[in-house]
Amino acid sequence: MSTTRIRIGNQTSCHVPARLPYEFAVDHGFDAFEWFSDKGDCGWCEDDMPQAERAQLRRAAQQQGILFSVHAPVTADPTTLSGAEAIRRSIRFGGDVGADVVNLHLSCEHGAKPFAEALRPLLVVARATGVRLCLENMPHTSPDHVNTVFGVLSTLPEAVGQVGMCLDSGHANLFAGTHHDYLAFVDQLGEHVPIIHWHAHENWGDRDSHLPLFTGPSGRDDRGVRGLVRRLKRRGFSGSVVLEQWPRPPDILVRTRERLRQLWEAG
């Protein structure tokens, strides 16, 4: 049986007030939760939460054993002034609530070196704040690009112990080079790429539908999820697994968590 600790939790949704998914996590004993800065129809952003409420949230998380993470806005590009400031806001919020990581999208619009260099001042702020950054693969992100970015980061002193990858298995399933085969995506990641966070959802290869695990292809055949569990364990993964959806009914999340935890313990 595995002794590696993982945490499994859910995330805010742009379609319902943030307190609803958070209170669901508390009520159902989830030990991770992600605050996604994405207003949408009725979602959430850092400016919605005053300092006193942040301090209260930090205390509550400590008492309930919940580890927070923060997702920076989708459009937050560290190579731009506005994007870097948006990421700083997420970092500051993460520090206020005691989060472990702040997640941002790994952009392919710039070369690996300009992107990595743009992270340097943010990594300094993150270290001072007590959080790490994690870089998430998007549907158009190749394993080679991830490898190259982390190759550059490995040469930066600011990045030591401060940055890792957020593996989005649903996005990996959509990448053209590993279409319908997210395990191949993971297999092409270099050993120098530390996976410290997992966004867990699936799709049928047609679009980024964010289906809960075991409600799409893995509901018919879970060998892919089992294979991913084995690969993550070999890499020493011990981070949070975030279920990036708010299904109807939300109790689906509880069943997903229980089945995923069983696979992790058996893998």
**Cross-strand pairs, 8:** 241
Burial class (CB in 10 A: 0-12, 13-18, 19+), 52: exposed
C-alpha to C-alpha distance for 67 and 58, rounded to whole angstroms: 10
Count of Cβ atoms closer than 10 Å to residue 85 Cβ = 12
| pLDDT average, residue stretch 218-235 | 98
pLDDT tens for 230-257 read 999 999 999 999 999 999 999 999 999 9
Position 102, amino acid: V
Work out the mean pLDDT of the chain and round it to a whole number. 96
Q: Which of 197, 123, 108 is closest to 154 using CA atoms?
A: 123
Q: Token digits for 203?
A: 């799709």
C-alpha to C-alpha distance for 49 and 70, rounded to whole angstroms: 13
Alpha-carbon torsion angle 184, 167, 244, 21, nearest 10: 150
- For every residue of 162-213, DSSP letters joined together read TEEEEEEHHHHHHSGGGTT-HHHHHHTS-TTS-EEEEEE-B--SSS---BPT
In this model, does residue 2 exceed pLDDT 80?
no
pLDDT tens for 17-59 read 999 999 999 999 999 999 999 988 888 999 999 999 999 999 9
| pLDDT average, residue stretch 258-263 | 98
Q: What is the pLDDT of residue 108?
A: 80
